[in-house]
Amino acid sequence: MDLNLAVLIDGDNIPSAYVKEMMEEIAKYGNPTIKRIYGDWTNPRLGKWKNVLLENAITPVQQYGYTAGKNATDSAMIIDAMDILYSGKVNGFCLVSSDSDFTRLATRLREAGMMVFGIGEKKTPDPFIVACDKFIYIEILKKQSEEASAETEGSKAGKKSGVDKITRKDINLITDTVDDVADDDGWAFLGDVGSLLQKKQPNFDSRNYGYQKLTPLISAMGEFDIERREDAKGRKKLIYVKIKEKKGKGSRR
């Protein structure tokens, strides 16, 4: 079932340059039935946002900054989120901000059974990230089209740079997750691996490493055997992965 999403944007905290890619990303996870952005629209700093609101059917919500140095936008956004929660009109939220002040809001929405997506910059503090079901770094959305073009042209440079960013900690996370869902023969359905990775680390995204999907990332790591199997009806290719055994040891450990 497609989720009905309330998209709430912290206009003081997110640059307008990402709005097109951001809305396209949100559409992958559900139908954005409510789209609101919060900020003090008398502030010239938000001028760039005004040019893209109509194009994306985002409703601006005015919130004056009553006290210098204090962000009144957070309170307005939190109050609206709770009103929307109790309206029963949506079954998911997308909170667009890099501000850790929304950590408690994300936690409360999930406690109420809502699916919560977070979108923010890479500077976003960990508490807000882990409070969401899934967290997407906004920087990778801007680069996505460029990386897709590079792949179409057969460029491998972008992929190599992505692999170089993978740390031993990342590899261990994926390896342990494959272990967690593997059958007695060590094979794990990649769909189950991806789902568990998301639960363990909400900001895990193959695009962070320069890959559009999990399969090419797993393949490039060189740590796993990959097997493609047909489903019961012979219509789909299901991808299974297995941790490679270390030569001469009979085990990866």
Strand order across the 237-243 sheet: 187-189, 237-243, 224-230
Residue where a domain stops, chosen among 96, 119, 142? 142
Domain span holding position 112: 3-142
pLDDT of residue 160: 45
Together in a domain, 7 and 63: yes
Residue where a domain stops, chosen among 77, 111, 142? 142
User: CA separation (Å) from 239 to 23, 38, 225?
Assistant: 29, 43, 10
Averaged pLDDT for residues 218-231: 88
pLDDT, tens digit, 9 for 90 and up, residues 207-220: 888 888 999 999 98
pLDDT at 89 over 80: yes
**Who's near 37: CB < 8 A, 6+ residues apart?**
8, 9, 10, 11, 49, 53, 58, 59, 60, 61
CA angle 66, 67, 69 (to 5 degrees): 130
pLDDT at 16 over 50: yes
Kindly calculate the radius of gyration of the chain based on its CA atoms and give it in whole angstroms. Answer: 21
Q: Is residue 196 part of a domain?
A: yes
How many structural domains does the chain have? Answer: 2
pLDDT, tens digit, 9 for 90 and up, residues 182-205: 999 999 999 999 999 999 999 999
- More confident position, 105 or 234: 105
Least confident range of 60-64, 110-114, 203-207:
60-64
Structural tokens at position 28? 């992958």
Together in a domain, 165 and 102: no
Local confidence band at 157 (pLDDT 50, 70, 90 cut-offs): very low
Amino acid at residue number 234: G
Q: Is residue 249 part of a domain?
A: no
pLDDT at 32 over 70: yes
Longest dimension (CA), the chain: 69
pLDDT of residue 39: 87
Q: Is residue 253 part of a domain?
A: no
Together in a domain, 121 and 161: no
Together in a domain, 162 and 236: yes
Report the predicted TM-score, pTM, of the whole model to 2 decimal places: 0.81
CATH code: domain of residue 201 = 3.30.420.610
**Who's near 215: CB < 8 A, 6+ residues apart?**
190, 226, 239
Together in a domain, 114 and 186: no
Local confidence band at 153 (pLDDT 50, 70, 90 cut-offs): very low
